Amino acid sequence: MTFSELAAIVLLLGLAGVGCSRSPAMEPDRNPQQGAILLSAHGCGSCHTIPGVSGASGTIGPPLAGYARRAYIAGKLPNQLDNLMRWIRDPQSIEPGTAMPNLPVNEAEARAMAVYLYTLR
C-alpha cells in the first residue's frame, strides 16, 4: 500500500465518523469554558454577575453564583438543564414582562451556557 492510499483510507474513516469525530471545543459537556465565552459574548454579564466570566459584573439581574444549587429558575421552573435552556432562549414566554430580554441564542449556545452555569456550586 502506498502512502497516499493509506492517507485516503484514514481520511475516509475520519469522514465516516470512526474514532474521535468531534473536537473537544465542540463538546460543551466536556468543555464548560465554551459556555463562559458565550455568556461573555452574549452580554449576559451586563446584567448578571457570573463568577469566572470576563466582564460579568452586572447588577440588574440576580447574581448567578452557585447556580447549580438553585432550586428554581426565576422562581418559576425547577432548575434542570432543559428548563434552563428554555429560560435562556425565551424568558419572555416563561415570565411575560420580565426585565430579561429574549436574546438571539441558539440551542447549542444555550446548552453550553447552561452547562457552564451548572459548574457554579
**Which residues lie near ligand HEC (CB under 6 A)?**
39, 42-44, 46-48, 60-62, 64, 70, 73-75, 87-88, 95, 98-101, 103, 105, 113
Residue 76 is placed in which grid cell? 418559576
Looking at the Cβ atoms of 31 and 63, the one nearer to ligand HEC is 63
| Smallest gap from residue 8 Cβ to ligand HEC (A) | 44
| Smallest gap from residue 27 Cβ to ligand HEC (A) | 19
Type of residue numbered 11:
L
118-48-117 Cα angle (round to 5): 5
Alpha carbon distances (Å) from 69 to 62, 65, 101, 120 = 14, 9, 24, 8
Task: Output the 3-class SS for 59-71.
Answer: CCCCCCCCHHHCC
Looking at the Cβ atoms of 13 and 108, the one nearer to ligand HEC is 108
| Smallest gap from residue 83 Cβ to ligand HEC (A) | 10
| Smallest gap from residue 34 Cβ to ligand HEC (A) | 13
Looking at the Cβ atoms of 16 and 60, the one nearer to ligand HEC is 60
CB 53 within 8 A of CB 40: yes
